[in-house]
Structure 1
Amino acid sequence: MNRSLNEHELAYVFQHLELVMDTSILKDHFIYGESSDHTNKIIFIPNTEKLDVSTINELPVLFGSTESDIFSLDEHGNLIFHHDLLKSSFYLLSCYDECYVNTKRDPWGRVMFDGSIQKQIGIIDRPIVNEYFEFIFNGINAFLSHHNKPKITKRKLFETFGLLLSHDIDVIDKYGWPHLGYKIKELLGLVKSEHSFLSLLKSTITSAFHFINPWRPNPYWNFEYLHNIESRHNIKASYYFLDKDNTGGSRYSFDEKRLVSLFKKLKNHKHEIGIHGTTKTANDSDMLVDEISRLMDSSKVDISGGRQHRLWLDPLKTFKIHEQSGLKYDSSFGFAEREGFRNSFCLPFKPYDFENQRAIDVWQFPLMVMDVTLFSYRKLDAPNEALTSIEKLLHEVEKHNGIITLLWHNSFFDETLYPKVTTTYEQILKLIEDHKAEGITGKEVLSKLANMTS
């Protein structure tokens, strides 16, 4: 990206800056250009060079300069930002890197953390766009103070920070032929598995026993447990349901009697019901609309958002499909193999449409922590290493009054494969509650955003 930002890209960055501060009274003072022949202006010096990361005051700046200070006031009363924080913010917020630079994809076709700018410069655990905005906020208040004007106050989406706890409901029955067949394939080495032969043998025997046991338990139908633990920690959760299809969808139907009954209970408990779009919907708006319609018919609720199955999305296509389908938010945007800040921002954002030079009118609540990431990809010890990693992210989110999005599958409580996983989940919720998070649904986050931006 060896050019300065155009007017559409600048507007996109300022749209997100408005989540942190009200800049409307200063609009006439902003200049994105050189600093000569100006008086009493707020000047952002543009960078027309390609990405070249420099570290200023421990802050990695993607498009910096040789200056040692982030900003300064000159003799003409101008506030000058010497490094292009706006272009650096746009590059990360808009996902420019993974749209046009990072071509590494996993076998599912998903963008990989391994090729990301976040891994390249070591910022996956830091929301540095929020840090850029903090410097802009501090610079503007220094400018106002210099001119004896009242300082602006910081906007807060949350008093402390928000928690969006979600459950992707991929499966609701554990023991049956599909589960047993897959376990046998794992045991025989016909499909790749991360688990030891001994644990696979044990889980296969257990699956075979319960396959023939008419009084078998169903640990995946654990919705009462999920509600009770969430209620204990003052959390309302978002439940995303996956439609039935022949290409990796669920094995249940939305109109099953037990599902309809579950929907009523979730509504009564003030939890959210959302869509977990099947893999093909990432490239097919008509299919996504059909799935949403079926879920609405069975649940009798309006669907505001959800998440793509397997986190599969094409950053150049899928966000526009969400917009076309009428969704108001999505929470698919996270790396499968690493927890953290995929676009270096800990607030909701709107994806950028590079083709039409505009913000796509769907909020993205970026996914920061997923159960599978912690224990399958990263193989962290439970509970200590997992809690340490999450607490590090919590500290950053809390600092910026942001939102942390946590995904925990209803089917991810298998103590045979992941010892102490249940204890870990419960300790994570207690940790977040101890940090005074506001545990709300995606639909409630939308209401907060509407109030802030109206």
Structure 2
Amino acid sequence: MNDRDHEFSLCLTHDVDRPYKTWAHSLFYTALERDASHLTALRPEANPYWQFDRIARIEDDLGVRSAFYFLSEPSLRSKSASQLRDWNEWVQLLFRYDLTEPEIAETMWKLADGGWEVGLHGSYDSYADRDRLAEEKERIERTLGEAVTGGRQHYLNLDPPESWRHHRAIGLDYDASLGADTYGFQHGYDVQRPFDDEFAVFPLTLMETDLPDPGESFDEAWAVCADLLDEAASNDAVMTVLWHPRYFASEEFPGHTRLYRRLIETAQEMDAWVGSPGAYYERQLVGEGERERVEPTDD
């Protein structure tokens, strides 16, 4: 199913979990990691996790585009009493952001206008809640002013194939949540078709947090990436990678930006097609006339 004009395909994605590092985040990480360096974000002018412009400049310089999946966590008012007894629910609320905030909305518009894919990052429990997932998709689309066609679930939460039935029913063309405990092609080398129809699944090959820390062991981290690129080329694979925007904050996460750039540059040197899952879907899965668009079902 890979593009016959290239050796393999590299799909680039970014889950927008935490675009802000506020005083609350700084105190949370300071307590959790016992690292006072997080308190630097208490300066009013500091927001090291806002990395959209930097990512766009890197990718534009390399002539590629990626997907940004935006999160719409439910508000405190929507939480049940049982949910509010769960510590994880409070963690999600701590990092919640509002899609309608001007700087978030304007960033989404700017990315879409520049050719980047804007998609859905389903909230923590939405993988099992079709109505919630549909509401989140509609909210992104209202803010963006156009339809979104794919995305990934928060924390890679998934209950296959039922979650994919939800995704398909609300009008998504693909999902990119299928992950593993570590990097690699555990789910094969190709895009999956779980229902033998137009709906597609992009297995996740590599997430930056699964690598050796490139700030401490860059060569080890690169060796993993290089091996995966070689494996992708040998198997005509579709390789999907995830780099969270906050990892482009080089002061806090040294080596990650350099590693991401080298990954793309090397893939291009190896004659890979590089882009977003949505662009791959349109180019390869639709562009070759494999299917006609059908209305989503409610099964």
Band of TM-score, shorter chain:
0.7 to 0.9
- Displacement, 1:418? 4.2
Amino acid at match of 1:274: G
- 2:125 match: secondary structure: helix
- Displacement, 1:207? 3.0
C-alpha distance after superposition, 1:101-148 (max 9, x if no partner): xxxxxxxxxxxxxxxxxxxxxxxxxxxxxxxxxxxxxxxxxxxxxxxx
2:31 pairs with 1:184: yes
Amino acid at match of 1:435: M
2:186 pairs with 1:346: no
Amino acid at match of 1:347: D
Query: Which residue does 1:306 correspond to in 2?
Result: 151
Please give the alpha-carbon distance, in whole angstroms, between the structure 2 residues aligned to 1:404 and 1:252: 30
**Contact 2:11–2:275 (CA<8 Å) still a contact in 1?**
yes
Amino acid at match of 1:450: V
Please give the alpha-carbon distance, in whole angstroms, between the structure 2 residues aligned to 1:258 and 1:380: 30
Amino acid at match of 2:49: Y
Query: Which residue does 1:328 correspond to in 2?
Result: 173
After superposition, the Cα gap between the structure-2 partners of 1:450 and 1:225, relative to the gap in structure 1 and judged at 3 Å, is same
**Contact 2:30–2:39 (CA<8 Å) still a contact in 1?**
no
Q: Which moved more, 1:305-314 or 1:156-165?
A: 156-165
- Displacement, 1:209? 4.2
2:41 pairs with 1:210: yes
Please give the alpha-carbon distance, in whole angstroms, between the structure 2 residues aligned to 1:209 and 1:373: 26
After superposition, the Cα gap between the structure-2 partners of 1:348 and 1:281, relative to the gap in structure 1 and judged at 3 Å, is same
Q: Tell me how many residue pairs correspond in the alignment.
A: 273
- 1:241 match: secondary structure: strand
**Contact 2:27–2:38 (CA<8 Å) still a contact in 1?**
yes
Query: Which residue does 1:401 correspond to in 2?
Result: 236
Query: Which residue does 2:96 correspond to in 1?
Result: 251
What are the residue-to-residue correspondences of 1:205-284 with 2, within 5 Å?
206-211=37-42, 213-214=43-44, 216-245=45-74, 246=76, 247=89, 248=92, 250-284=95-129
Please give the alpha-carbon distance, in whole angstroms, between the structure 1 residues aligned to 2:4 and 2:67: 19
Using the size of structure 1 for normalisation, the TM-score is 0.56
- 1:307 match: secondary structure: strand
After superposition, the Cα gap between the structure-2 partners of 1:281 and 1:226, relative to the gap in structure 1 and judged at 3 Å, is same
**Contact 2:108–2:144 (CA<8 Å) still a contact in 1?**
yes
- Displacement, 1:409? 0.3
Please give the alpha-carbon distance, in whole angstroms, between the structure 2 residues aligned to 1:414 and 1:235: 20
Query: Which residue does 2:7 correspond to in 1?
Result: 160
Query: Which residue does 2:285 correspond to in 1?
Result: 449
Query: Which residue does 2:263 correspond to in 1?
Result: 428
The two structures, once aligned, show a CA RMSD in angstroms of 2.2
C-alpha distance after superposition, 1:160-217 (max 9, x if no partner): 2222101100011113213323322332xxxxxxxxxxxx2xxx2x333431x23x32
Which structure carries more relative contact order (alpha carbon 8 Å, separation 6+)? 2
Please give the alpha-carbon distance, in whole angstroms, between the structure 2 residues aligned to 1:341 and 1:177: 37
What are the residue-to-residue correspondences of 1:93-104 with 2, within 5 Å?
none
Amino acid at match of 1:219: P
Please give the alpha-carbon distance, in whole angstroms, between the structure 2 residues aligned to 1:267 and 1:217: 26
Q: Where does structure 1 lack aligned partners over 5 or more consecutive residues?
A: 1-18, 21-155, 188-199, 352-357
- Displacement, 1:387? 1.6
**Contact 1:170–1:242 (CA<8 Å) still a contact in 2?**
yes
2:130 pairs with 1:285: yes
- Displacement, 1:331? 0.7
Q: Which moved more, 1:176-185 or 1:306-315?
A: 176-185
Please give the alpha-carbon distance, in whole angstroms, between the structure 2 residues aligned to 1:301 and 1:414: 30
Using the size of structure 2 for normalisation, the TM-score is 0.83
**Contact 1:276–1:308 (CA<8 Å) still a contact in 2?**
yes
**Contact 1:168–1:408 (CA<8 Å) still a contact in 2?**
yes
Please give the alpha-carbon distance, in whole angstroms, between the structure 1 residues aligned to 2:255 and 2:176: 27
**Contact 1:328–1:361 (CA<8 Å) still a contact in 2?**
yes
Please give the alpha-carbon distance, in whole angstroms, between the structure 1 residues aligned to 2:225 and 2:109: 32
Q: Where does structure 2 lack aligned partners over 5 or more consecutive residues?
A: 77-88, 292-299
After superposition, the Cα gap between the structure-2 partners of 1:218 and 1:367, relative to the gap in structure 1 and judged at 3 Å, is same
Please give the alpha-carbon distance, in whole angstroms, between the structure 2 residues aligned to 1:260 and 1:317: 31
Amino acid at match of 2:266: L
Query: Which residue does 1:295 correspond to in 2?
Result: 140
Greater Rg by CA: 1
Please give the alpha-carbon distance, in whole angstroms, between the structure 1 residues aligned to 2:140 and 2:212: 31
